[in-house]
Amino acid sequence: MRTPIIAGNWKLHKTVDEACDLVTALSAQIAEVSDVEVIVAPVFTSLAGVAAALKGSKITLAAQNCFPEPQGAYTGEVSPALLKDVGCSAVIVGHSERRQLFGETDTFINRKVKALLEAGLQPIFCIGETLDEREGGEMYDVLQRQVHKGLEGLSSEQMQKIVIAYEPVWAIGTGKTASTEQAAEAHAFIRGLVSGLFDNVTAEAVRILYGGSVKPDNVDALMAEADVDGALVGGASLKADDFARIVRFKPTKG
């Protein structure tokens, strides 16, 4: 059985105090949950404060990005080692906003994945197609390219330390969500890609999260799909009540 992961990507939201208040409220609301891994990813400036607020909590800390070098003349960047030092255990890489707004390539994202593994951090590796790519029949080609190039040069052992997040770009922050059938189809395809690159055992072990307008009212149906192992939540993770309800999902066929 793959342990589900519910991760909150807070993007560019919350001051240090607001972030600490949020995790304190969230921790109280999910204290009884024992069979789900819960991760929060605040902005860089809040990481140390949130790490302190999470002491004694079952929630783990992630960063939203990293730079794939341990140190050097890289103004404005943050290394995996520094993120680990501040209390992170995971880092999101390859998010569509990084790809689209900041021009990050599959090759650059692959460097980040390897740097995180080298530092002993868990990569949450994001992939997904745009609306034009989906409507143009390119979805499978895009996912194959992102998976193959993003995971190039990794061993099966390393792959078992990686979480994949499938986020159809057209569903991020738009209020649109992939149907359960669309999510299931994409997740099954991605698991097949991992099997082809590595082996069936590795593919069955890897956890694939769905991201894209996940909310309390759609998480139950999404989590009922066999290949959906959790969610990478955006806007709904900014409210303790909503995020706690998502963490307490009850898989039900829609």
Active site residue 167: yes
Q: Which of 95, 129, 133, 225 is catalytic?
A: 95
> Which residues have CB under 8 Å from 141's CB, separation 6+?
none
User: Would you state the structure tokens that stand for residue 46, as one six-digit string?
Assistant: 């809040």
- Among residues 147, 224, 150, 142, the alpha carbon closest in space to that of 183 is found at 224
DSSP-assigned beta bridge partners for residue 92: 124
213's tokens: 């307008």
Q: Which is the catalytic residue, given 37, 167, 187, 225? A: 167
Check: CB of residue 157 under 8 Å from CB of residue 197.
no
Using DSSP, state whether 216 is helix, strand or coil: coil
Q: How many CB atoms lie within 10 A of CB 171?
A: 20
What gap in Å lies between CA 235 and CA 175, rounded to an integer? 10
User: Is 18 an active-site residue?
Assistant: no
> Cα separations (Å) of 13 from 95, 109, 194, 230, 245?
16, 24, 33, 22, 20
Closest to 247 measured CA to CA, from 207, 226, 217, 219: 219
Place of tokens 């900014």: 238
Which of helix, strand or coil describes residue 78?
coil
**Which residues carry out catalysis?**
95, 167
